[in-house]
Each structure stands twice: as C-alpha cells, then as structure tokens.
A and B are shown apart, each in its own frame.
Chain A
Amino acid sequence: MSVEFCGLELAHPVINGSGTFDAIAAARVFGGELRGAFPFAAYVSKTITLEPREGNPPPRLWEAPAGLINSIGLPNKGLEGYIREDLPQLAALSTDAGAGDGGQARPVPLITNVMGSSAEELSRLVEACGRREEIAALELNVSCPNVKTGLDIGADPHQLEAVLRSVRGRTGKPLIVKLTPNAADVALCAQAAQEGGADAVSLINTLRATALAPRAGSGSSRPWLGGGTGGLSGPAIRAVALAQVAAVAARVSIPVVGMGGVQSALHARELMDVGARLVAVGTESFRDPAAGARIARGLQAARTG
C-alpha cells in the first residue's frame, strides 16, 4: 500500500498531524514497542520557531462536545535547540522505528514543521532545516499573525503567495503548506500556495475556539484557557475538514494532506475519496497512541478485502 508523496516513498498513507505525537516522549514511554511498528508512515514534528518558546500558561485543555480545544502555544526549543538536541534523536528513531506495511518495515521520513512571523524568519528556518539531510521535507505553519500586519499569513492569499515566493528558493526540499481553516476562502489560499511554489498543502488546522470558565454550574465571562482562545480538533470538525479538503483538492494540482477528526479507516478513506493523497491523524492519537497504525491497517484491509 506504499504511496508516493513529493518524491518520498511512504509505507502507507497515514501520517501524524503536527504537534499531536511527540516521538521522543513516545520512545521514552513505549520503548521498544515502537520499533518496526511506528504508527505513522512519515513523522511530522511539532512546530519549530526561531527562538525557544515555553508555550501558554495552563490551563491548556478543554474537552468540547466530540472534541478538544487546546491552547498549547507551540512550546519548542527553538531552531538551534531542535537541530542540536531533538534532530539526532528523531533521526535515530526514523531509521529504527520503521513503519510497518504488513511486511517489511521501512524508515519513517522526517517532516519538520516551522513557523515564522515574517518572510525573513520563515526563510531562515527553511534554509537551516533544508540543509539537514535528516529532514525529508518541510511543513510551513502559516497560522501565525504577521508581525507587521497582525493578519494570519495563511489567511490572506496575496500575503501567502508572497511569503512562499520568498522562501521557495531557500531549499530544494519539498515544502508543504499547512493551511489555516480560519480563512474566508481556503481553496483560494491553497491556490496561492501552489502559485508561490508549494509542493503540497495540508489541512485542516484547528478551528479557532474558546471556552468560558464554569462558575457554579454555568459559564462565566472569563476564558478558561490560559491562552484565552485555542483550537478545536477531533470528530467535532470532521465534516468541516471533509468540505475544505474537497474544495482544496478540486482547486490545486499539488498533493493534499487531509486531516480533521479522523478516527477510523472509513474517515481516512472519505478524505482520500475527495482528493487527499495522505491522511493525518491528530487528536485520535491522544485517545489511542496506536490509532495511526490501526487506521493504516484498516485502509490496507479494505483494499485487499
């Protein structure tokens, strides 16, 4: 069931959503159980920024109807820390913890997700990561406000295309643009990414959401999350994901990574039916760390059965 994606040969079409699976922590917790049985065919890192970030103050989680609102705030060691401390461990895991395809396990390519608040920041991140042979591809998190305009880079097609044009030349590695669903016309943004030189797009990111702190059984006016607002994920957003992935896949010719509330092989199949080349699993991995492998097996069984 191997699948080609931006020149990479993957064992199956299921990968993880950025920030939903910490491979280094998982290796600590599950140890050898991951060897040869890594749940994803490629591993997407959490978002890396130029400078280290501690993330948002707690509380960071809220259980929503059929979903989760998170306000984690992209904690990470920064570019230098990532390359020095995390990348060697991830590279070892990627060769060691091969993704199963029923038969031979193969190495798990690393996709590094980066975010910058300007074209200059993104360029530095893309250039530095692009030089690392451990990294197979880059994913750009463009759900970040532009420091000058305050607008999410990814929500404005013109800005997105301009940013892509300025970072495109910094690496020959595949560039995947993680689109924000919090845009007026996501398909237009996808098209702009393609025009700017993106090799693929991935969607959907979380939907902006908030929750109020409960007070004596009812809501108050104070936000629950330490970060004020967060992002909604899980089955609650699956129907939105299906619509946006369909709209984007109909508009662009580059491969699409579809995600949003996928819990089963059926959900993955639906995203692929509307045009996704790969499917990413996110929140479901919180409920079941083996979800990616379970869904990949389900896809395989449906194909052969």
Chain B
Amino acid sequence: MQELGAYRVLRVADPDGPEPEPGQFAMLAAAERWGGGDGERPFLPRAFSVARAADGECHFLLEDVGPGTRRLCELRAGDGLWALAPLGRGFAAPTQGRRAILVGGGAGIAPLAILQDVLGAPATVLLGFRDQVRAQGAALLQGARVATDDGTVGHHGLVTELLAGELDRDAHAVVYACGPPAMLEGVRALCAQRSIPAQLALEAGMACGFGACFGCVVPRRGGGYVRVCLDGPVLDAAELERVEGAQIAEHAGRSEIGQPA
C-alpha cells in the first residue's frame, strides 16, 4: 500500500492471473471482516479499475469514501484479498493516426495509468482534482497537466477547459476519459460538438460485476439500457445520449459501490 495524497495504491500480487487490458476492472473484497462488522457493511464486493499491471502485480487506486473502500484502505502487506478479474470491456487502441488525449478526474485517473503504459507513445494527459491533496494522485501518470477546482495546483478550473484548449490546437485526436459523471458528460458534449471520438470509462453501483444482477445499467442512446459491467465499463461516447450522475454522485458511501468518483 502506497500513499498518494488523498489516495492509496493497493498492490496485489497476482503472478498467475490473466493480463488485464486497459479499462478492465476487478471486483475486490477483503478476505477478512467483509460482510460483518458495524452495520454488516461492507457486504458486496466493490468494483475498481485496474490502475497498473506489471511484474505479477495488479495495482488499484483507492480513496476512502465509505465502508468498503475504508476496509480496503486498512489492508496491510500479507492480508488476504478476494478478487474477480479481469472483467468488462476496456479501451480500444487509437485508429487513423489520431493522437490520444487522456482525461481523468479524481480516482477516475486509475485506468488511464495502465492505458498510458500500454499506449507507450507519448499521450497528452489532462487530470482534474478537487484540491491539492488529491492532485498528488497525478503522480500515477507521467507528464500530466493538472487542473484543480480550488486553483491550488495547475489550472484553476475544470479539466474539460484544458481539453477544449487541446482540441482547439489539434482536433485529430481520440479522447479517453474516466472520472465523475459531470466530467464525463463535459467530455462527451465537447467531443460530440467537434465530432471527435471518445471512449468513456463509466462508474456504476454493481453487485456482481459479471452481468448477473442487472443493477449497473445506464441508459443507451435510442432507448433501453446497457450493463456497465458487461458492455462497459468503457463505452463509446456515441452510444450514450448523455452521462447521468444521479446514480452515484450524491453520496460517497454509495458511490463507492462502484469505483470511487
């Protein structure tokens, strides 16, 4: 466990596990004191994007926002972890020579780190955080430009403002984004206006992570729902009318049912 400002990087030894693709996720639960304790929560495993996979280890970015993430943050070296991974559909590689722009917000920067590792080529990285303590999470990626809500680090404002500037400069790009719903909606709207392809890694409360519970759905453009765990968590922005945040935005203890925003 490594501290990174407001976040912790949970490093899990997984020497024989299948190699995750960028954007895929894992369901995690502590082997001990899960499904018991105060209020009998946490009960369900929690979903986390894989932040990095290297040398037989998988890394996950944690922020203590509720009982599940708190319990995971308490893990010490040698403790047992239950994991189901890799799950879901990840990011697709850039096509037609488009340059990759990675846009992350808060704990949502996690899948962009493994994506940056895999892309290899220098990608533009734009990260948004609430404040200075959280902005330390930017160290997870290389060469990131940072925006903070309170202006204590980098650009004073939204990360989508940085993105708009980048797209003004060179629009032959593909945008990869993960973060809070409002940020994802900002990215989706910007890219839709300019006909720029975007892949959004979504968060949703999940009970299972493998398509069984039908609890993690988001509305699909043209009607109906898609399961975030099975058809996502990375969805083409064109598949969505808009990114809605009501499911997870208002209460940290709930939002952490999925990967923390």
| A interface list, Cβ under 8 A from B | 19-22, 25-26, 28-30, 54-55, 57-68, 70, 72, 75, 213-215, 224, 234-236, 283, 285-289
Q: Does B133 contact A (CB under 8 A)?
A: no
User: CB distance B213 to A70 under 8 Å?
Assistant: yes
Residues of A near B87 (CB, < 8 A) are 29
User: CB distance A68 to B43 under 8 Å?
Assistant: yes
Q: Among A25, A26, A63, A286, which residue has its beta carbon within 8 angstroms of that of B42?
A: A63
Chain A's closest residue to B251 (CB) is A214
Chain B's closest residue to A54 (CB) is B224
Known: A65-B39, A213-B250, A235-B35. A29 touches B230 (CB 8 A): yes
User: CB distance B40 to A72 under 8 Å?
Assistant: no
Q: 9 smallest A-B Cβ distances: which pairs?
A: A25-B211, A66-B40, A286-B208, A61-B215, A214-B251, A65-B40, A286-B207, A59-B247, A29-B210
Chain A's closest residue to B220 (CB) is A54
Known: A58-B204, A59-B247, A68-B43. A287 touches B213 (CB 8 A): no
Residue among A20, A57, A60 with the highest chain B CB neighbour number at 10 A: A60
Residues of A near B227 (CB, < 8 A) are 25
Known: A58-B204, A213-B251. A63 touches B41 (CB 8 A): yes
CB 8 Å contact bits of B219-253 with A (1 = contact, 0 = none)? 10001110100100000000000001011101101
Residue among B207, B215, B230 with the highest chain A CB neighbour number at 10 A: B207
Minimum distance in angstroms from A31 CB to a CB of chain B = 11
Known: A58-B204, A213-B250, A287-B44. A26 touches B225 (CB 8 A): no
Known: A63-B257, A286-B44. A75 touches B214 (CB 8 A): yes
Chain B's closest residue to A75 (CB) is B214
Q: How far is the CA of A182 from the CA of B248 in the complex (A)?
A: 30
Identify 6 residue pairs between A and B in the complex whose beta-carbon atoms are under 8 Å apart, listed by A's number: A25-B210, A28-B211, A29-B211, A29-B230, A58-B244, A236-B40
Q: How far is the CA of A197 from the CA of B203 in the complex (A)?
A: 47
Residues of B near A285 (CB, < 8 A) are 208, 212
Q: How far is the CA of A10 from the CA of B243 in the complex (A)?
A: 45
Residues of A near B45 (CB, < 8 A) are 287
User: CB distance B230 to A70 under 8 Å?
Assistant: no
CB 8 Å contact bits of B76-93 with A (1 = contact, 0 = none)? 000000101001000000
Q: Does B254 contact A (CB under 8 A)?
A: yes
Q: How far is the CA of A167 from the CA of B57 in the complex (A)?
A: 57
Chain A's closest residue to B66 (CB) is A63
Known: A20-B213, A28-B211, A58-B217. A65 touches B205 (CB 8 A): no
Q: Does B110 contact A (CB under 8 A)?
A: no
Chain B's closest residue to A16 (CB) is B212
Known: A213-B250, A287-B29. A60 touches B41 (CB 8 A): no
Q: Does B218 contact A (CB under 8 A)?
A: yes
CB 8 Å contact bits of B146-172 with A (1 = contact, 0 = none)? 000000000000000000000000000
User: CB distance A75 to B225 under 8 Å?
Assistant: yes
Residues of B near A55 (CB, < 8 A) are 214, 217, 225
User: CB distance B214 to A72 under 8 Å?
Assistant: yes
Residue among B39, B42, B225, B227 with the highest chain A CB neighbour number at 10 A: B225
Q: How far is the CA of A267 from the CA of B200 in the complex (A)?
A: 42
Residue among A22, A62, A72, A285 with the highest chain B CB neighbour number at 10 A: A22
Minimum distance in angstroms from B231 CB to a CB of chain A = 10
Residues of A near B35 (CB, < 8 A) are 66, 235, 287
User: CB distance B41 to A65 under 8 Å?
Assistant: yes
Minimum distance in angstroms from B49 CB to a CB of chain A = 17
Minimum distance in angstroms from B203 CB to a CB of chain A = 12
Residues of B near A213 (CB, < 8 A) are 250-251
Residues of A near B39 (CB, < 8 A) are 65
Chain A's closest residue to B253 (CB) is A214
Residue among A25, A28, A236 with the highest chain B CB neighbour number at 10 A: A25
User: CB distance B257 to A61 under 8 Å?
Assistant: yes
Chain B's closest residue to A211 (CB) is B254
Residues of B near A66 (CB, < 8 A) are 35, 40, 43
Minimum distance in angstroms from A209 CB to a CB of chain B = 14
User: CB distance B211 to A215 under 8 Å?
Assistant: no
CB 8 Å contact bits of B28-53 with A (1 = contact, 0 = none)? 01000001000111111100000000
Q: Among B84, B205, B251, which residue has its beta carbon within 8 angstroms of that of A61?
A: B205
Chain A's closest residue to B84 (CB) is A289
Minimum distance in angstroms from A153 CB to a CB of chain B = 23
